[in-house]
Structure 1
Amino acid sequence: MSVLSAHQLSRSVDGETLVDDVDFEVEAGDVFVIFGPSGAGKSSLLRLLNRLDEPTGGTVHLQGEDYRQIPPQTLRKRVGMVPQQPTLIDGSVAENVAWGSRLRGEPVDEERVADLLKRLGLAGFADRDAEDLSGGEAQRVAIARTLYNEPEVVLLDEPASSLDAEAARQVESLLADVMRDLSITAVLVTHDTDRARRLGTRGIRLDNGRVQASGPLDDILDT
């Protein structure tokens, strides 16, 4: 059984079709790539996968369960997202990483916070003010915050695209290591062929909201 699957997933807004009858399955351990040019509908599709936006057709199954039967807050813990632009709260790095626990009134696992920061090259950053972080550091904190919740699937929306080349390489390298070491299942949106090859396992190519190709990376990437 797939971890996450889309079934005839569609979304239209004001008569414009953003996502059109999309089907795919993500297996455990996949880094599943949603690949395509700007405006192809990649981010619109990603936002449907944990109901940040609502589909106008079709549905998604998480571990075989229709995600419409899962409370949205629970769903977004199980299917976490790392956005293009990190939005951190006022406070320390550690407070940002454990923000989910704090919102739910749960005790903070300080060892898990420390382990994630170390894995992402931020050892010793726990007490640092989030306002003092560079763009690459802030993105790594955003990744740690998502992983802290132990999601079953991580959605990655071009997580290094807003960074300069050196920061992007560092974030990408650390992210690849963490995903491998923790056996994370992920869905990655990218228009970058090289990034897709470095991080991905298989996926779909999207254009105008429709799937143009699916399968191994060599079958979906432009050559």
Structure 2
Amino acid sequence: MKELEKRLNYTFKNSELLKNALTHSSYANENRAEGISSNERLEFLGDSVLGFVTAKHLYSMQPTLSEGKMTRLRAELVCEQSLHGVALDLDLGRYLRMGHGEEKNGGRTRPSILADAVEAVIAAMFLDGGIAAPESFIERMILSPESIEAHHAADYKTELQELIQQKNGQVLTYAPTGESGPDHAKVFSASVSLNGEVIGEGSGRTKKEAEQAAACQALKKLNK
């Protein structure tokens, strides 16, 4: 547990809270006679703490974002995929208390279980040290400027679509324009057109990234 606390950059006053946060329901069920509780209640609380801290951060640090954009960005930042990545960074799976059957079925590496455990740990930190403890952790592991920019960039196509839909009869289309480089390091290019006229071009490591880059350029052009 001490090693995990170092990774969390937080030392628990009540270590039982951390132990509970790492207890999967399968372990609790197999040890029901001992009165062991699973981390499900902590997961419930942690989800709310995570949502609050993320909403507060976006409101304070992203003053130009609309309510709709903040809502979408928050959803992406706290989704299962994002929390699974945090769990991998912490190597959280190795610390989980899990039933034999669940472990044999690969539960220790299952994204949903790991994401739930991250939320449970956040709740444990909150109960142990108040809001400052999980807030520092969340800002460091989930709300870094790089992470927010990456998730925000992933929404350029949606932002462009919403802008175009403000007028009726507008047709937005994306098209591949080429690819270059060796198979292991290809670069794809794409364009986006409005009513048949190209309004943005971009490139990226995948076709989706290229389309996002094209949408970004189009937004800059249309918002001038």
Given the two structures, how large is their TM-score scaled by the length of structure 1?
Answer: 0.24
Structure with greater strand share of residues: 1
TM superposition score normalised by structure 2: 0.24
Higher relative CO (CA 8 A, sep ≥ 6), structure 1 or 2?
1
